[in-house]
Amino acid sequence: MKATIIYGSPRKRGNTAALLAPFMDELQKNGVILDYFDVYEKKIAGCRACLGCQKDSEKVCCVIQDDMQPVLNSMAESDLIIIAAPVYAWSAPAPVKAVIDRAIYASCKYYGDDPYGPALFKGKRFALLTTCGYPVEKGADLYEEMMKRYCKHCGLTYTGMLAERQRNLKEPFMNEEKEKHAREFARSFL
C-alpha cells in the first residue's frame, strides 16, 4: 500500500508533527510506502481557475509550474491520502487550502468541455489528522465537514479524522493516550 501525507503546519516540532510521528511510524512498521510533502516548504500557488487542467481528461495535472505536480502525482499513485494539519479558523491553513483547491480541479475532469468527465481520484481513501485549540467537536467539526464534501465531490472515500486538542500551553501536548490514538488510527488503514 502507498500513502501520500500532506503536512500543513508551519511548526516543524509542533502539535501536528508530534501526533503525526507515531502515525507514520505505525504505517511504516506495517510496510506502507509513504510520500511526505511539507507544503510550507513548497512553492504552491493558489488555483487560478484557468481550467488548463481540463484539457487532459486522463491525467491528474495542472498547468501552473510550481511544486504541486509531484504532490498530484503522488496522490494519483496512492491508495490513501492523508492531510495532517492544524485547524486555523475552523479550516485548513492557507498552504493546505491551496493544495485542496488545485487537486480538485486537477483530478475532477468535469469542469471543462465534458460535464461527465472522470474523477481521477475516485475510490481512493482519504483521512484527516488534525490538532486544534478548541474542544474537537467545536474546533474541527467544520473542517471535517468541508473535507467530507470535498471527498464526495471528488469520489474519494472519506475514512475518518483523528483530532486532538491542546487545552493550554502549560501542559505538554503529547501523551501516551494521544500516541495510542495515532497508532490505532494508522492501523485502521491496514
Q: Are 159 and 127 in contact (CB under 8 A)?
A: yes
Q: Go through 132-159 and write b for each residue having 16 or more CB atoms within 10 A of its CB, e for each that does not.
A: beeebeebbbebbebbeebbeebebebb
Residues 6+ apart with CB under 8 A from 118: 57, 58, 109, 110
| Grid cell listed for 16 | 501536528
Enumerate domains of the chain plus CATH numbers: 2-187 (3.40.50.360)
3-state secondary structure of 16: helix
Q: Are 147 and 158 in contact (CB under 8 A)?
A: yes
pTM of the model: 0.95
Rg (CA), the chain: 16
User: How would you write the pLDDT of the chain (190 residues) with one tens digit per residue?
Assistant: 999 999 999 999 999 999 999 999 999 999 999 999 999 999 999 999 999 999 999 999 999 999 999 999 999 999 999 999 999 999 999 999 999 999 999 999 998 888 889 999 999 999 999 999 999 999 999 999 999 999 999 999 999 999 999 988 888 999 999 999 999 999 999 9
Q: Are 93 and 42 in contact (CB under 8 A)?
A: no
